[in-house]
Amino acid sequence: MATQDDTTPAERLRLLQLEFITPRRRGPAASRSTRPTEPAAPLDIDTVDHVQGSVAEVVALTRAAAPDAGPRPASVEGLYGWWRENTAHLEPEKQQHREAVIYRHGLEHALMLGERKVIRRHPCPGCGTWGLFWNQALQRALCVNRYCKDASGGSSTWTLSHLAQEHVNRKEKSARRAT
Ligand SMILES: [Zn+2]
């Protein structure tokens, strides 16, 4: 199994689906179980919502950019590849935006799986230090640097979208430097 550091958004989405969506609800055709026993826990509604919401967002964005895209892949694992394939002709900025959404999904899936430390791998967009941590109540990453404040004097906080966009921009810049 992949380590957490190189787990892709697609793999995480599959993990979420495997972990919480019980196959027996989907009829005999999908009754193969990945566990030796049926999970005792009831269906986790938040996780189901999360998986379905993620899939719906990708499908909507793909269809908006590529109305001729064929049916979405049956498995969630193929979802992001399907999006990339169908939008590979778009201009670079649009593709970068797509990558930022995919990266954000990866962060959202990781948080849903309880991997909060994925947030710490990002420098604070405000002060550049490595003191970000996830605040579940705010649904934002918060900087622990006491000199790093927002406009109202509180700790600076960042959305996952913002962190994802910065991450993709950094990658793009280093890719350009390398060529
Ligand atoms: Zn900061």
> Which parts of the chain fold into alpha helices (H)?
9-20, 45-65, 79-86, 92-112, 160-178
How far does residue 135's CA lie from ligand 1's centre (Å)?
14
Question: Residue 22 — pLDDT band, cuts 50, 70, 90?
Answer: low
Half-sphere exposure of 108 (CA within 13 A, CB side): 24
Count other Cβ atoms within 10 Å, centred on residue 9. Answer: 21
How far does residue 92's CA lie from ligand 1's centre (Å)?
29
How far does residue 30's CA lie from ligand 1's centre (Å)?
47
Residue 179's pLDDT is what? 76
How far does residue 145's CA lie from ligand 1's centre (Å)?
6
Q: What's the pTM value of the predicted model, to 2 decimals?
A: 0.82
How far does residue 141's CA lie from ligand 1's centre (Å)?
10
Give the model confidence (pLDDT) of 120-177 as tens digits.
999 999 999 999 999 999 999 999 999 999 989 999 999 999 999 999 999 988 888 8
Question: Residue 13 — pLDDT band, cuts 50, 70, 90?
Answer: very high
Largest Cα–Cα separation, the chain: 58
* CA distances, 57 to each of 35, 51, 54, 64, 155 (Å): 29, 10, 5, 11, 31
> Does residue 3 register a pLDDT over 70?
no
How far does residue 162's CA lie from ligand 1's centre (Å)?
13
Residue 7's pLDDT is what? 80
Give the separation between CA 149 and CA 146, rounded to whole angstroms. Answer: 7
Give the separation between CA 179 and CA 168, rounded to whole angstroms. Answer: 17
Our measurement of the distance from residue 28's CA atom to the centroid of its chain's CA atoms, rounded to an integer in Å, reads: 30
Our measurement of the distance from residue 171's CA atom to the centroid of its chain's CA atoms, rounded to an integer in Å, reads: 17
Residue 31's pLDDT is what? 44
The arrangement of strands across the sheet holding 140-143 comes to: 132-135, 140-143, 157-158
How far does residue 128's CA lie from ligand 1's centre (Å)?
6
How far does residue 173's CA lie from ligand 1's centre (Å)?
21
> Does residue 20 register a pLDDT over 90?
no
The residue written with tokens 């390398």 in the block is 178
Residue 116's pLDDT is what? 93
> Does residue 77 register a pLDDT over 50?
yes
